[in-house]
Chains A and B, each alone.
Chain A
């Protein structure tokens, strides 16, 4: 598997000199095998991913964790969606009230966006993510609900015995202390993952003012990574107001606090081979 970060920022794109190292685009990570492309979230980073994956003949699956704007705003700028004859599978969280197409169309239609889903050149197949794992080529995908406002999923992708867990928007601390596997959101998805890409948006001081907003501190991310035995923690969903220097400091904290395994911070262009 090849993992590429196209957007690591949370909440809103934040381009500028102060964010140039970690990047200003919102959530988007691709996971490739020889026979499939999976794209985790469709934030503004998806535009650049689309330039690379344009014309690619591998089956392409876009896996949406949830439908907040910073996770879907790149969809209308994903070049493969405008390629006639190409099929793009889009998976998202199920809802008890509306299907995925109806919910996505609220954004992908006038007046918020000029082009409707049905007018994309590609054949777009929308799916509620199932409870059971499914296959995209040689990639096994598993989805499970995690704690975040509104229906929200985390994903785990496994191939050849290696796995990546992706929980970009996640507040396990809202479920109590992070310590008992049975009572910790995200535990089973992230268990023993080689790479855990996890929400690390806030400092402890910021979190105190934003409990219930659906995000984690660096300490929460480290606690979960240690609890599940994840080998490599990758902090993600950087706070838009955090400069590169602030993210550097948060990463240093994560590295010193991890009891086992390593820590890193996601940055645009980062690639991980598993």
Chain B
């Protein structure tokens, strides 16, 4: 695997040191890394899944609106942030890999190189009201 750009390397290091859940994606929206707080939202340790291609992540987490409609690709925060080159904030539900459906919010910030190329996105995640968290089989 080729070396990642230094902006992504530094972003991962920052994410590893933060107490808020963070996911790092590359320019293809493939997941490069998520930190320990994000593991609690996704329901799986990063070391167990390693990097996740966008399609695999979307299939596993099944991001949906509150009314059950699947999020379209253009609605995903990381994709939106990179396409529009500005922060994007989205509230939605995911099916954690531990079987729990969680309402979350995500703010994605695009990462660009000094040459102006989009390298990826730094996605900060928040769990919404824990009372809304329900086991998957009840949905």
Contacts and interface: CB of A to CB of B under 8 A. Distances in A.
Chain A partners chain B: yes
B11 to A, nearest CB: 10
Given A146-B6, A182-B4, A96 B114 contact: yes
A146 B10 CA distance: 10
Contacts of A151: 114
A96 B3 contact: no
Which of B2, B9, B116 is the most central at the interface, judged by chain A CB atoms within 10 Å of its CB?
B9
Given A176-B16, A188-B2, A188-B3, A183 B9 contact: yes
Interface residues of B, number: 18
A147 B4 contact: no
Contacts of A95: 114
A153 to B, nearest CB: 9
B12 A175 contact: yes
A185 B12 contact: no
Contacts, number: 50
B114 A176 contact: no
B1 A182 contact: yes
A96 B112 contact: yes
Nearest to A183: B9
A138 interface: no
Contacts of B5: 145
A175 B13 contact: yes
Interface in A233-272: none
A175 B13 CA distance: 6
Contacts of B1: 181-182
A147 B6 contact: yes
Contact of A174 (B13, B113, B114, B117): B13
For the side of the interface on A, what is the size category?
A: 20 to 34
A181 B1 CA distance: 8
The dominant DSSP class at the B interface is loop
B115 A94 contact: yes
A156 B125 CA distance: 39
Contact of B9 (A94, A131, A176): A176
A182 B1 CA distance: 6
A93 interface: yes
A176 B2 contact: no
Interface in A157-198: 174-176, 181-188
A175 B116 contact: no
Interface in B92-119: 112-117
Interface string A8-39: 00000000000000000000000000000000
Nearest to A145: B6
B112 A183 contact: no
A181 B3 contact: yes
B9 A184 contact: yes
A200 B7 CA distance: 22
A-B residue pairs, 4 tightest by C-beta: A175-B9, A188-B3, A187-B3, A182-B1
Given A174-B10, A175-B9, A182-B2, 7 more contacts: A131-B117, A145-B5, A145-B6, A176-B13, A176-B16, A184-B3, A185-B9
Interface of A: 93-96, 128, 131, 145-147, 151, 174-176, 181-188
26 contacts: A93-B114, A94-B114, A94-B115, A95-B114, A96-B112, A96-B116, A131-B115, A131-B117, A145-B5, A146-B6, A147-B10, A175-B6, A175-B10, A175-B13, A176-B9, A176-B12, A176-B13, A176-B16, A183-B9, A184-B9, A185-B3, A185-B6, A185-B9, A186-B3, A187-B3, A188-B3
